[in-house]
Amino acid sequence: MTPNSLKETNRILHYQSLFRLLVGFAGILSLLTFHRGLEHELIVTLPLLVTIGYILSSHFVLQRVSPSSRPGVGTVLSFIDALLLGGLICLIDLSLLPALLLIITLQFNGIIGGGFRKLRNDNLALLLGIAITALLRFPQWTLSADILTGLPPLLALGIYICIYGASSSREIATLGEKQKELEKTQVQLKLRNYRLSKYLSPTLLKAIQSGKDVKLETHRKKLTVFFSDIKGFSELAEELEGDVLTSLLNNYLSEMSQIALQHGGTIDKFIGDAIMVFFGDPTSNGVKADCTAAVSMAIAMKKHMKELQRRWTSQGIETPMEIRMGLNTGYCAVGNFGTENRLDYTLLGTEVNLASRLESAAEPGEILVSHETYSLVKDQIMCRDMGEIQVKGYQQPVRIYSVVDFRKNMGSDQSYFEHMTDGFSFYMDMDRIRHYDRDRIMRSLIEAAAQLKNKKNY
């Protein structure tokens, strides 16, 4: 028996015992007042002794039985309670007022003690008690409303309702306090989950929240792996103050992380200014779609870097910073690595190493991809064949490609423009320009072109 079911059983037995005590003595008093002058007759003394003996013995039985047996014993005692009540009602000749009050008390006890099933059993036992007693002594049913006879049942019903109301009020107050504690706990759990989400991968966080056991296990899967870092960041770190450098790096990582998440990437880790992202696990849209999303993310990061450069320049950081990126597609071991006490959701394999090597070989502002990645995106993304390079850890040269842009952005359908030279910096992504900004942008371009055309050379 669970603690909750045991608690509910004890609650029902408590009210049943209270009902037995109040209705038992109320029935005895009504019997005594109804048969005034016959206190020493068998019709009064026998029911009195039986009722008192039953009340005492039932209390003794409930104290001695084991918790697992209490529900069954309680059902039997409840049946006997209603049976004896029917006998008492019959002995007072079904007097209207006390009989009605005693029956109402029985119905109220049945409702709070077990619902329809208990009501049905109690009423059957009540009718059975009346029938058995009627066989022994046929009642002379009367409509008289003897206040003195009806007073004990009325007091019993009132006391029972008051005790139940007071107990229910305490339970409601206790439930209210528990509800507040539960809400407070939920807020704390949400806050902890939010903090955990800053350190754990989405897969591990989801597994922890679902209650599943996180095990040391991995599987092989074809993924696209991405690496990037900022060229010249170490030199910049020596020039800037610590708080300025921290703000700059956090801003850069936040912006790039947002782009990675928008494209469906799984951020593996940050290593200083370096970022590692992979596509294809824990969710995948297919190897080709995952690879296209990864290269699309790299292009978006490259374009967004122009905005960051202008922002940093306005903050007084004049050292130009460019990111270099490398991508590779291949089979990797992905899953939970580490120990039983500490896990890290990541991936391993030579294909991961190749992506890192391509990032190191890339020029500032360049995106290098392997032949496997190129073959999956070449129909949508323009790449230049950069020939073969020797990569550490590989005996044979590796063919690499430099990503240019989406094919839809090339030629007459080009939607992305950029040009930088001394005194001039131009960047425009037409896909991101809002409709109501177009006229203002066109006026600015026309005015700038006119000024440039009329500018005299000195």
Q: Domain segments of the chain: what residues?
A: 3-176, 217-414
3-state SS class at 167: helix
Inter-CA distances, 437 with 187, 409, 430, 434, 442, Å: 42, 21, 11, 5, 9
Q: Give the residue with greater pLDDT, 131 vs 207.
A: 131
For 154-186, the pLDDT digits (tens) are 999 999 999 989 988 998 998 999 999 999 999
Name 337's bridge partners. 344
Distance CA 92, CA 46 (A): 14
User: Which pLDDT value is given to residue 278?
Assistant: 94
Among 3-12, 89-98, 138-147, the minimum mean pLDDT is found in 138-147
Query: Residue 417 above 70 pLDDT?
Result: no
User: Which pLDDT value is given to residue 31?
Assistant: 86
Element holding 15 (H helix, E strand): helix 3-34
Among 195-204, 305-314, 321-330, the minimum mean pLDDT is found in 195-204
Query: Residue 227 above 90 pLDDT?
Result: yes
CA atoms within 13 A on the CB side of 171: 9
Contact at 8 Å (CB) between 386 and 402?
yes
Distance CA 429, CA 409 (A): 10
Tokens of 65: 């039985």
Q: What is the mean pLDDT of the segment spanning 61-84? A: 89
Query: Residue 281 above 70 pLDDT?
Result: yes
What does pTM read for this prediction?
Answer: 0.57
Query: Residue 203 above 60 pLDDT?
Result: no
Contact at 8 Å (CB) between 265 and 281?
no
Q: What is the mean pLDDT of the segment spanning 359-367? A: 92
The residue written with tokens 């709070």 in the block is: 112
Asked whether the bond before 282 is cis by omega within 30 degrees of 0, the reply is yes
Query: Residue 457 above 70 pLDDT?
Result: no
Q: How confident is the model at residue 213 (pLDDT cuts 50, 70, 90)?
A: low
Distance CA 230, CA 238 (A): 14
Three state DSSP letters for 378-390: CCCEEEEEEEEEC
Distance CA 326, CA 307 (A): 21
* Domain 217-414 indexed as CATH 3.30.70.1230: yes
User: How many Å from the N-terminal Cα to the C-terminal Cα in the chain?
Assistant: 97
